[in-house]
Amino acid sequence: MFTGLVEEVGRVLEVRPGRPTWVRIGARKVLEGTRVGDSISVSGACLTVVELFPDAFAVELAEETLRRTAPRWRAGARVNLERALKVGDRLGGHFVTGHVDGVGRVVRFDRRPGATDLFVEVPRGLEKYVAEKGSIAVDGVSLTVVSVRDRVFSVTLIPHTLEVTTLGELKVGDSVNLEVDLLARYLERLMEAR
């Protein structure tokens, strides 16, 4: 379980394709107290640390992970990193599981002094889980939905968020990992059971 509050931006250093694909990611802060077997959110995908290095960690990507996440598993790519919650940690974002629900596409930016509105199109079928003033994780970043129209939602990014995450590097047409609010998923399941 995560909060969607990015601790640092890391960089993919090495990728070894295979079954599974092995990826080494450069990091500093998220290595503090991390052990092999711990979970780290990498741009919204919960991954297990399989090796540790002085300035990096390695994960293994199953074919399912490669198929369901935005295509950023290449050397040089910058990624948002967050360690899993510990009991007693502050919960400043929202509950994020690190299970990517779908890959969205950036369709527009509206920039104005002090804020940037990011508009993202969600895959068909996922739009029913996105609600105005609800929570959504975009590349592992906890955000509040500002507006929803058909399959496009918007979020407002403050300068701090643009500076400390990879969201400031996005361009129109880029793919992003999306995780809808956990409560929306469970609410739908409860309603189906009735």
Q: CA separation (Å) from 63 to 17, 60, 67?
A: 10, 10, 6
Q: Which one of the listed residues 3, 39, 43, 154 is annotated catalytic?
A: 39
Distance CA 98, CA 100 (A): 6
Query: 8-83 with 102-193: one CATH topology?
Result: yes
User: Is residue 62 annotated as a catalytic residue, yes or no?
Assistant: yes
User: Is residue 99 annotated as a catalytic residue, yes or no?
Assistant: yes
Residue ranges covered by each domain of the chain: 8-83, 102-193
Q: Indicate the SS3 state at residue 34.
A: coil
- pLDDT of 184 reads 74
Q: Which one of the listed residues 48, 53, 75, 115 is annotated catalytic?
A: 48
CATH class of segment(s) 8-83: mainly beta
Q: Which one of the listed residues 46, 58, 70, 137 is annotated catalytic?
A: 46
Q: pLDDT means per 10 residues in the chain (194 residues)?
A: 93 96 98 97 97 98 94 94 86 83 97 95 95 95 96 97 96 97 76 76
- pLDDT of 72 reads 86
Residues constituting the chain: 194
Place of tokens 């890959």: 103
User: Is residue 119 annotated as a catalytic residue, yes or no?
Assistant: no
N- to C-terminal Cα distance for the chain? Answer: 28
User: Is residue 97 annotated as a catalytic residue, yes or no?
Assistant: no
Q: List the CATH code of the domain at 102-193.
A: 2.40.30.20
- pLDDT of 6 reads 95
Q: Which one of the listed residues 2, 57, 119, 153 is annotated catalytic?
A: 2
Q: Which one of the listed residues 53, 75, 99, 115 is annotated catalytic?
A: 99
pTM recorded for the entire structure: 0.92
Q: How many CB atoms lie within 10 A of CB 182?
A: 17
User: Is residue 2 annotated as a catalytic residue, yes or no?
Assistant: yes
